[in-house]
Structure 1
Amino acid sequence: MRRLLPLIVPLLGLPLLLAENPAISTPKSIVPNIQEVIFYTETKPIRVFVHINAKTGSLDKTFESKLKEFFKFLDRDGDGFLSPSEAEFVFSNTAIQSLISNGYAYASPNDPSRTFDKFDKNKDGKISLEEFIRYYEPSGQYLITSRNLNLGDAYAEEVTKEFFNRLNSKKDGRLSREELAVLPSWIPLMDRDEDDCLSVTEIIPDIFTRNLASKNEKSAFGAVRVHPVGEFSETAIENLMLRYDANRNLRLKPNEIAFDAETFKKLDKNGDGMLSMFELMEWRNLPPDLEIEMSLGANPRESSVRVLKRPDGRDYPLAKNVQILSTGNLLVKIGNQSIDFGYLFTPQPTISAPKVEDTNNLLSAFNKAANGRDFVVDKDLINPEYQHLRILFDMADRNGDNKVTREEIEALVKLFVSFKECPVQLAFNVDMPSIFRILDQNQDGRLSLRELRQAWKQLHPLEPSGEDYITSNISKPQAKIYLTRENDVVRFVNANPYQVSLAGSGQGPIWFQRLDRNADGDISLKEFPGSKAEFDRLDLDGDGLISLEEAETAEKRFRRK
């Protein structure tokens, strides 16, 4: 016996002529594909526009493809339209949003927004695919969300203190060039796994077992804001003013906010040498400092990030500060601070995945109720434990034979689960990194010989005093922006910032990648299979390492012969 869900269908006006009806136009974009990232550095705010795509195409097309599958599922007679009876099982936007987030929803019979009229815009008594997709336009905004991870480096202060204790022979709280120069000598003393690199536990074996009083004493609260382009509110401008207004007079002078001279002059409409709140509001309408595109694939190798040009074909101001890391991340340097754009993925299990992923235990409930059969009927679902399956019975029973087969429930579950593939999230975090993490330029959780040799070069520009030494004040808020899926974000919350990665960069000639056995971005003499004389011919700067650049130079030379 069918339990009809009362989708409200107007009884009057169904035979209206189609020629008299307004045309239905599908919007160009129903997903806020361009997000604005604001990083409040210590001297000025930085704006980056991030274009977000999936590797399979735009999120609009991904969402539209899922809606087409849903429409096809509901269109039982396959005529390309939904009749009033077929439309009994359409979802409201609220239900679709639940499907996007949780992979489960049902058609509520009492939902006033789920009326036939709201779908059937041209009043021809049926719902076209175009009308169906147009109805779900409001749900597009839920496909891209942002989230502050609020993750501090619990070990940063302790790690930095340990470096100072071991290196600062003068015990004056300052590290000189000479004191930092001993870092490379740590490798033969501490490299327990003999990979010619040092992890944080090789340097400080008990670091993760120490009782740390505070997780993140040096807070960088509110230093990053993420929102769709065009949604930078007046309240956010007020917060910007308060962040940089050192003397609290609600005016910003050039020494308070380090805009370049051209930008400051453009904003300073009255030419008084100060920016008022009203003048500062115009800043949100100026072009961004950088524009990038991030494409999320099924894994890191299928994902990419690249810098975009300005509409006139020129580079954005920050393009010259961009560095592509060996991890594939895009690092933007702003003085002694940075924004790191990358991805988050949860490692997939190696065991075989089930044929169909379950959602809300629908398949489990079916298997239990079926009791060895390949179908269930109404009376099998009387018990309360089957309620979530019972309310979907008629929707799953596509051929209307008053029973749901295994094939039918699996088709419904597959449809539901597919919507969870649509949403992505820009997760962001700001923390104060330790000396170890500052030196770890390729962010693989290890310090290579080259990174240790370049310690002074990397650290000294960060010293705010500008003097010829290093203090612990070099640690400034650094931002990380991750494009990910929500489930991966949840699993990442407890991630260790010192996790070792041996993935390698994937850059350079194939022979270079194969010989770089420890994946540190260089080939050492120990890794090189030839003679020292052959090694020296490739090691152009004579530093005892064949770098990526030297390998590429050699490759060009080989190809010319």
Structure 2
Amino acid sequence: VFAELQISVDGRPYRLWVTEFLSRRVDRNNDGQLTATEVGLIPERLLLQTSAADPVEAVRMSGGQSASSAEPEPQVSCEDFASWFANELLQSFNIIAGAVQASDAVRLAALIDADQNGSVSEAELQTARHSLRFRDLDDDQTFTAAELMPFRDPRNQQAAVVPDVANLPFVQLSDDDSIRRAADQIVKRYGKDGAVSRTVLRLSESEPSQESMTSNDLIEFLRNPDHHLHLHVQLADAANASDVEIEIAPHARTFCSAESERRGRLKLSIDDMPIDLRARGGSQGARTMMVNFLLQRMATFDSDKSGYLSEDEFPALQQAMSEQLQIAADFGTVDINGDEMLLRDEVSRFIERDMIATQSQIEVSVRQDGKTLFKILDANRDRRLSPRELNEGFQQLAEYDRNDDHNISESELGTAYALQIGLGQTATLRIDSMSSMNRMAEQTDAVLPGIEGLAGPEWFRRMDRNQDRDVSWREFPGTRTLFDQLDTNHDQLISADEAEQLQGPRP
């Protein structure tokens, strides 16, 4: 499904809103004109996105002046500069995986999908123990979320986790590289003999009637795709005032639908997969909170209580800004008027300018909700997968096989996604939101019942070293003949019921 995303802030195209905000903030004398010195106050990471070599050239280019102009200190109106600057900025778009519980973040299908066809077959599930064998870090024959997510620190299992963005089913088409990668992925997953059928792309009747597309054909198509959805996200700088509108193309209404829940939220359904879409505004509140926090810290750093920070007192504030804003600011950059006295207004303006630079990029946070393969297979809810749960898992999945092809895809599982679209956030604010997830996190990845919590005779419970309620051949201390005698259904596992049926002397 192809979606076109249009974003505005307070009724202005979002890049123009950003540049107009910055133009007002760097206009120190409020005369409506910008000099090269004032333009130089804009965060460098934004100026580097322009074709201008330095602030002087930026002023000349935005004001339509030639490089040979005799004017020693060129100026440009705030309006002209903002318009030019908005066209120069990159169309920055960042997809971020939202923090979820560990068992929700495990993309088990991607780990055991041997043929990479986007679904899991019974055969792939039967061989999952072999496919995952190198992830059993503690060699206990079970697989916890910590083991299936190798980038997660097992010593910090109480934390919420962030899935790999590459595993999310959302792709941004913003440049040649991303378009080429998307084309290759589509052909690999949905194509045959190096081409993909037109029906897979679900094009409108107005599109060229070629039956299939090669990877090169698809690249050209993706440069200007036939969009199924047109989304207009109307962000507001103030809180609780954002909105989102959607237009569904006529040829997409058979598999796409949308319902407005309340202002700023939409409930999408794409091929029966629910997607909760939310417009996240309120960036003004985030800026105000950060400014107030750092100004409070500034007061504690003012050791002589002079009402300003000297260069000797600045390092403490410099460290605080580095931690909160992830920037390395020097004293001269923050001290706008160069009087060697850092006032609250100068600090406030510097923080606002830097946070607006961060907000110049659009951020889409994607969180997976609903059922996952890991959670469905985890029949006893101990937050790990045992050999029996993998061996018999397809019986659990059969009810989700809606097309009876004996393959289970994520859409059949009832997987849902929540998308939050807003202006960029500092890493600190994003970490804070993850910390709130941490407070709701499950206590550990695996929940062991203890010997007392296991069924079966005592010898069986003591042999079950990994406490998965089965005894494997590796755990069994007796002979193979005796193991096979106890394993009456020959599934290579002795269950509590089979142990209870043992007659005669107990081992």
**So what's the TM-score if we normalise by structure 1?**
0.47
> 2:188 — aligned with what?
242
Query: Could you tell me how far apart the structure 1 residues matched to 2:266 and 2:171 are?
Result: 18
- Per-residue CA distance 1:376-420 (angstroms, 9 max, x = gap): 56xx638865775632365145xx6x6454455445545555555
Kept after mapping to 2: 8 A contact 1:297/1:303: yes
Q: CA deviation at 1:213?
A: 1.2
Query: Could you tell me how far apart the structure 1 residues matched to 2:439 and 2:403 are?
Result: 28
Q: CA deviation at 1:306?
A: 1.5
> 1:288 — aligned with what?
227
Equivalent AA in structure 2 for residue 69 of structure 1: R
Query: Could you tell me how far apart the structure 2 residues matched to 1:288 and 1:318 are?
Result: 14
Q: CA deviation at 1:321?
A: 1.7
Indicate the SS of the match to 1:294. strand
State whether structure 2 residue 169 is matched by structure 1 residue 223. yes
> 1:426 — aligned with what?
364
Given candidates 176, 195, 208, the residue that maps to 1:251 is 195
Kept after mapping to 2: 8 A contact 1:464/1:473: no
Q: CA deviation at 1:289?
A: 0.6
Indicate the SS of the match to 2:200. coil
> 2:326 — aligned with what?
none
Q: CA deviation at 1:425?
A: 0.6
- Residues 61, 83 of structure 1: CA spacing in aligned structure 2 closer, same or farther, 3 A cutoff? closer
Give the share of equivalent positions with the same residue, in percent.
11
Q: CA deviation at 1:434?
A: 5.3
> 2:454 — aligned with what?
none
Query: Could you tell me how far apart the structure 1 residues matched to 2:248 and 2:356 are?
Result: 34
- Per-residue CA distance 1:516-560 (angstroms, 9 max, x = gap): xxxxxxxxxxxxxxxxxxxxxxxxxxxxxxxxxxxxxxxxxxxxx
- Residues 332, 153 of structure 1: CA spacing in aligned structure 2 closer, same or farther, 3 A cutoff? farther
Given candidates 127, 144, 148, the residue that maps to 2:75 is 127
Equivalent AA in structure 1 for residue 82 of structure 2: I
> 1:69 — aligned with what?
24
Q: CA deviation at 1:301?
A: 3.6
> 2:276 — aligned with what?
340
Q: How does 1:487-506 map to 2 (within 5 A)?
A: 487=426, 489-493=430-434
- Residues 142, 391 of structure 1: CA spacing in aligned structure 2 closer, same or farther, 3 A cutoff? farther
Indicate the SS of the match to 2:103. coil
Kept after mapping to 2: 8 A contact 1:343/1:483: yes
Return 5+ residue gaps in structure 1 as ranges. 1-45, 99-111, 158-210, 439-458, 500-561
- Per-residue CA distance 1:259-298 (angstroms, 9 max, x = gap): 44855x94553xxx44333443454234201111122346
Query: Could you tell me how far apart the structure 1 residues matched to 2:279 and 2:260 are?
Result: 13
Query: Could you tell me how far apart the structure 2 residues matched to 1:80 and 1:250 are?
Result: 58
Return 5+ residue gaps in structure 2 as ranges. 107-141, 150-162, 319-328, 377-396, 441-507
Indicate the SS of the match to 1:128. strand
Query: Could you tell me how far apart the structure 2 residues matched to 1:472 and 1:286 are?
Result: 25
Query: Could you tell me how far apart the structure 2 residues matched to 1:347 and 1:408 are?
Result: 20
> 2:460 — aligned with what?
none
Indicate the SS of the match to 2:21. helix
> 1:154 — aligned with what?
103
Across the aligned residues of Structure 1 and Structure 2, the Cα RMSD in angstroms comes to 5.3
**So what's the TM-score if we normalise by structure 2?**
0.51
Query: Could you tell me how far apart the structure 2 residues matched to 1:490 and 1:337 are?
Result: 29
> 2:145 — aligned with what?
214
- Per-residue CA distance 1:169-205 (angstroms, 9 max, x = gap): xxxxxxxxxxxxxxxxxxxxxxxxxxxxxxxxxxxxx
Indicate the SS of the match to 2:213. coil
Q: How does 1:433-448 map to 2 (within 5 A)?
A: 433=371
Query: Could you tell me how far apart the structure 1 residues matched to 2:352 and 2:53 are?
Result: 26
> 2:160 — aligned with what?
none
Kept after mapping to 1: 8 A contact 2:366/2:417: yes
State whether structure 2 residue 292 is matched by structure 1 residue 357. yes
Equivalent AA in structure 2 for residue 71 of structure 1: V
Query: Could you tell me how far apart the structure 2 residues matched to 1:148 and 1:317 are?
Result: 28
> 1:516 — aligned with what?
none
Query: Could you tell me how far apart the structure 1 residues matched to 2:170 and 2:239 are?
Result: 24
Query: Could you tell me how far apart the structure 1 residues matched to 2:293 and 2:298 are?
Result: 10
State whether structure 2 residue 231 is matched by structure 1 residue 308. no
Query: Could you tell me how far apart the structure 2 residues matched to 1:347 and 1:127 are?
Result: 30
Equivalent AA in structure 2 for residue 357 of structure 1: N
State whether structure 2 residue 417 is matched by structure 1 residue 486. no
Given candidates 215, 219, 224, the residue that maps to 1:277 is 215
- Per-residue CA distance 1:53-104 (angstroms, 9 max, x = gap): 224643134213322223312xx4x5544556x4595446426689xxxxxx
> 1:390 — aligned with what?
331
> 1:48 — aligned with what?
3
- Residues 429, 286 of structure 1: CA spacing in aligned structure 2 closer, same or farther, 3 A cutoff? same
Equivalent AA in structure 2 for residue 235 of structure 1: R
Kept after mapping to 1: 8 A contact 2:255/2:271: no
For these two proteins, the number of residue pairs brought into alignment is 343
- Residues 370, 88 of structure 1: CA spacing in aligned structure 2 closer, same or farther, 3 A cutoff? farther
Query: Could you tell me how far apart the structure 2 residues matched to 1:298 and 1:473 are?
Result: 35
Query: Could you tell me how far apart the structure 2 residues matched to 1:471 and 1:276 are?
Result: 25
> 2:90 — aligned with what?
141
- Per-residue CA distance 1:441-497 (angstroms, 9 max, x = gap): xxxxxxxxxxxxxxxxxx999642469xx9999415544322134245444446659
- Residues 411, 473 of structure 1: CA spacing in aligned structure 2 closer, same or farther, 3 A cutoff? closer
The range that moved more, 366-375 or 214-223, is 214-223
- Residues 127, 460 of structure 1: CA spacing in aligned structure 2 closer, same or farther, 3 A cutoff? farther
Query: Could you tell me how far apart the structure 1 residues matched to 2:93 and 2:20 are?
Result: 17
Q: CA deviation at 1:228?
A: 3.8
Q: CA deviation at 1:304?
A: 1.7
Kept after mapping to 1: 8 A contact 2:19/2:85: no
Query: Could you tell me how far apart the structure 2 residues matched to 1:323 and 1:462 are?
Result: 25
Query: Could you tell me how far apart the structure 2 residues matched to 1:478 and 1:301 are?
Result: 24
Kept after mapping to 2: 8 A contact 1:253/1:274: yes
Indicate the SS of the match to 2:364. strand
Given candidates 357, 368, 382, the residue that maps to 2:301 is 368
Query: Could you tell me how far apart the structure 2 residues matched to 1:498 and 1:319 are?
Result: 38
Query: Could you tell me how far apart the structure 2 residues matched to 1:302 and 1:497 are?
Result: 28
Query: Could you tell me how far apart the structure 2 residues matched to 1:419 and 1:369 are?
Result: 28
Q: CA deviation at 1:428?
A: 2.5
Query: Could you tell me how far apart the structure 1 residues matched to 2:410 and 2:95 are?
Result: 32
Query: Could you tell me how far apart the structure 2 residues matched to 1:252 and 1:354 are?
Result: 50
Query: Could you tell me how far apart the structure 2 residues matched to 1:354 and 1:474 are?
Result: 43
> 2:402 — aligned with what?
464
Equivalent AA in structure 1 for residue 45 of structure 2: T
> 1:323 — aligned with what?
259
- Residues 117, 477 of structure 1: CA spacing in aligned structure 2 closer, same or farther, 3 A cutoff? same
- Residues 307, 283 of structure 1: CA spacing in aligned structure 2 closer, same or farther, 3 A cutoff? same
